[in-house]
Structure 1
């Protein structure tokens, strides 16, 4: 485990904020007790970041020279991938199989943005007068990255890599439930030789550290992934500063199975989309719409498949569904299900903690399938962030489009059908940031990601994800060598 010191502007220091306890949710054991960042720690990090970012040793680097740092960080993540995976499993309860993939993803993200940095060009714009015109890109300055607890190393990389590639300094605030893997990332970044001050890791409360990073006048952009309520608050605070933000927020994503779908393909994708990561994913396919012609048989088979999923310890390579991140979160998921049952939902499977005595000390909850409620029910409207699926029937294309769009959220959608033109029509008609056709929860760092409506604003990843951390500047250079005609006559005889 990291030793609990914070990385404050390139220096390892004990935090002076409230105490944070990292717990292994599989059995309740303590990973590390540390002091989080205080406002004073944050101010010190900001001051060091400002000085480091303004230093020509960083700001004046050519793009290919900055890219070398990203490649070295990627190499460091790959060399420490197993250690990173085990720290993240201890911090979050995710299976080692998943955290190993997340570590590999983080390394790929740094490598990708290094390559993007080397291959992106400024633009010589079309000449419309007697000047050479160019569009160039420059760093914003200081960037705050605020990441969630559910996939920290991957989320950290998706914000830190493009922000550093763009020439900024980055202050990373990880979630208090999962502070340790970000501190391990800081160790790797330091070993890569990044100039001191350009990167900080400040675990702490959103009320103190989050607010400081959003409101401080030297922070030029905030990238936030988390809950919609917090995202709204950040947007309001950013508006006061006229500061750009990217907000990747909650979801209640629809998955749609048409009567002509391949049932094996659909069921495998649905199970992965909602129950992998124990449902703790913003893009989890939490609302399942099944065409009425196949509804009963399909749902019966889905329930049988759900009951065969292997629930177990995150270190067990056979485990498919692990524990939730914290007992408090498990209790919140239980409360959502209890409320749905009280409102008339039918429990098809799950809805309780596992009976295995070996799992009794952990924050476990069985994969759960509910039915018998309309799309207007609370269980269909509110994000649960747990292994809970609600099944709803539909008749035809127009009905399912209307129901899928009848949500405050618009983050993702899955569609299963053998009819590609139909999949295309429905996918284009759903208000969402991502559509998967005959698959689910597949990602590429080269493909932009973000949401609509209460699921957020702006996009991350992809080549343009780097430009989001830069300011565009226009440059005009005179080609005539003559004084401007507006004032030429007043110069005569001088």
Structure 2
């Protein structure tokens, strides 16, 4: 890397932020990969006011849907043309293995393509007549919307917010996670290269507690879409309530993954491993609570632990790496504290639990696949989100016992079920409280399928063909077809002498 400071995209201009200079670090080595000046509140105001002017005067909102769609298709094409460069950049930005970052880049391209199609095929409605008038329901853009994104999958998360917001005709202000700003900046460049009018997209890296708060409170911001921690999401919701502003909140999870006594063990072992240990467990939908039928518990755990011990943890640039480092030293320490807490609560280590050391491990923030058992579902490590490669294994006796434990959580984001009996799996899937339930698979996504959580896991839904409507206001139009003036006015009209 060079010591050159990267410019930010603020109200159509690429310039240095007014905040403090800081580095983006590569989690595999702890070394800086880029320098930039954070945005400050003055930059926030300039970006939002510029976005508002661009919304009013650029003509973007007035373009025909297929014309906006053409720009989104071009963004998707540019992402694909620069896919390897973007994947390598995300690897450096947050330490994910290169195979995973390639998939995230491909997902981002698919998201822009999908919402381009959703934009140009979105239908408005002539509703059934209930009188001497024709009624219509139409959708219009909101204005300036904010996308506040997390550090664990930047380009995919940003695409899921930016693509539908732009397709709907809005201007977008992106607040990326402070420690992973590089993909959002590159995405803004691609949007401009694709023909998006200047000012319609800004990127404001920096501290979320300062910038996110200022963005959310700004009177010109008409909607916030946030992915991140539950505490921050609730804070945003309180501000939004005072503003009467809609929000989308995709928050934490403590997802149960369930192995019934008739499960295909090959599929179940592979799925449980992928559900918790891919992305180093740094995923809101990670299957972090494992419930196994008691009769199957010990043979299943033997197979699971043997397979987990063979997961390759190492250099994210290595094509064969399955788990990279955690995002930072501070986050690794948080994971370690949770493991220590689990042991203090009476848990036993079945696998892992000790920081990896030696050569490359000493440079980065690595932590191994870790499995705890001997705990009850009401203990803290079973109730609080760890956001790391830590699995809590719990046996269950029957379906009633299982449901009591699986649904006993503040979170309700996702769940997994492993069973050969599709009727049994369907019945259980309907009883599990979660926004997404995977059956005989896990952590598979489709941009065409809505995603979100219940309870402390969030509000609203992203993705899906109608996800574009999250960023639009609905308006009803009435066209009078009556031949005579409205009767009330005619009946009460005064007659001149």
| TM-score computed with the length of structure 2 as normaliser | 0.98
Structure 2: give runs of 5+ residues left out of the alignment: none
The Cα of 1:131 is off from its aligned counterpart by: 0.4
**Distance of aligned partners of 1:26 and 1:125 in 2 relative to their CA distance in 1, 3 Å threshold:** same
Report the equivalent of 1:122: 124
- Counterpart residue number, 1:33: 35
Aligned to 1:412: 414
Alignment of 1:224-303 (within 5 A): 224-303=226-305
Shift of 1:58: 1.4
1:492 CA displacement: 6.8
**2:355 maps to 1:353:** yes
Answer yes or no: is the 8 Å Cα contact 1:23–1:30 preserved in 2. yes
Aligned to 1:96: 98
Find the partner of 2:453 among 451, 454, 477.
451
Supply the distance in 1 between the matched residues of 2:285 and 2:406 (Cα, whole angstroms): 14
Shift of 1:120: 1.1
For the residues of structure 1 that align with 2:349 and 2:495, how far apart are their CA atoms?
A: 91
How do 1:356-395 residues align onto structure 2 when only pairs under 5 Å count? 356-395=358-397
Q: For residue 479 of structure 1, what is the aligned residue in structure 2?
A: 481
* 1:330 matched to 2:332: yes
Pairwise CA distance, 1:19: 2.8
Name the structure 1 match of 2:442. 440
CA distance in 1 between counterparts of 2:22 and 2:91 reads 17
Deviation at 1:4, TM superposition (A): 1.4
CA-based RMSD: 1.3
Aligned to 1:70: 72
Question: What is the CA distance between 1:164 and its match in structure 2?
Answer: 0.5
SS of alignment partner, residue 232 of structure 1: helix
TM superposition outliers: structure 1 runs of 4+ over 4 Å: 491-494
Give the number of equivalent residue pairs. 494
Query: Offset of 1:20 from its aligned partner?
Result: 2.8
Offset at 1:356? 3.7
> 1:246, 1:278 → 2: CA distance?
26
Cα pair 1:350 1:366 within 8 Å, conserved: yes
1:279-327 C-alpha deviation (Å, 9 max, x unpaired): 0000000000000011011111101110011111000111111101111
Deviations 1:172-207 (A, max 9, x none): 000011011111111111111101111001111112
Once the two structures are TM-superposed, the CA of residue 102 in structure 1 deviates from its matched residue by 0.4
Distance in 2 (CA, whole Å) between partners of 1:388 and 1:103 is: 26
Which residue is 1:149 aligned to?
A: 151
Q: Aligned partners of 1:14 and 1:33: how far apart in 2?
A: 11
Conserved 8 A contact 1:324-1:386: yes
3-state secondary structure, aligned to 2:295: coil
- 2 CA distance for matches of 1:394 and 1:125? 51
- Of 334-343 and 290-299, deviating more is 334-343
Q: Kindly state the Cα deviation for residue 352 of structure 1 after the two structures are TM-superposed.
A: 1.2
Quick check: 1:16–1:35 contact (8 Å CA) kept in 2? yes
Cross-structure match for 1:400: 402
Q: Measure the CA separation in 1 of the matches of 2:15 and 2:385.
A: 37
- 1:212-231 equivalences under 5 Å are 212-231=214-233
Determine if the alignment matches structure 1 residue 206 to structure 2 residue 208: yes
SS of equivalent residue, structure 1 residue 58:
coil
CA contact (8 A) 1:122 1:137 kept: yes
Whole-angstrom CA distance in 1 between matches of 2:384 and 2:465: 33
Could you list the runs of 5+ residues in structure 1 that have no partner in the other structure? none
Q: Is the 8 A contact 1:20 1:176 kept in 2?
A: no
> CA shift at 1:18, angstroms?
2.6
Partner SS for 2:152: coil
Q: Which residue of 1 aligns with 2:61?
A: 59
Q: Post-superposition shift, 1:342? A: 1.7
- How far apart in 2 are the matches of 1:390 and 1:189? 42
Task: Supply the distance in 1 between the matched residues of 2:370 and 2:58 (Cα, whole angstroms).
Answer: 56
Counterparts of 1:76 and 1:56 in 2: how far apart (Å)? 22
Query: Which residue of structure 2 lines up, in the alignment, with residue 13 of structure 1?
Result: 15
Q: TM-score scaled by structure 1?
A: 0.98
Task: Work out the CA distance in 1 between the residues paired with 2:127 and 2:345.
Answer: 61
Residue of structure 2 in register with 1:167 after alignment: 169
Alpha-carbon offset, residue 3 of structure 1: 5.3
Take 2:232 and 2:450, find their aligned partners in 1: how far apart are those partners?
22
TM-superposed deviation, 1:265: 0.2
Q: CA deviation at 1:54?
A: 1.2
Q: 2: distance between equivalents of 1:141 and 1:475?
A: 20
Q: Mark the CA change 1:127 to 1:286 in structure 2 (over 3 Å): closer, same or farther.
A: same
CA distance in 2, matches of 1:397, 1:77: 46
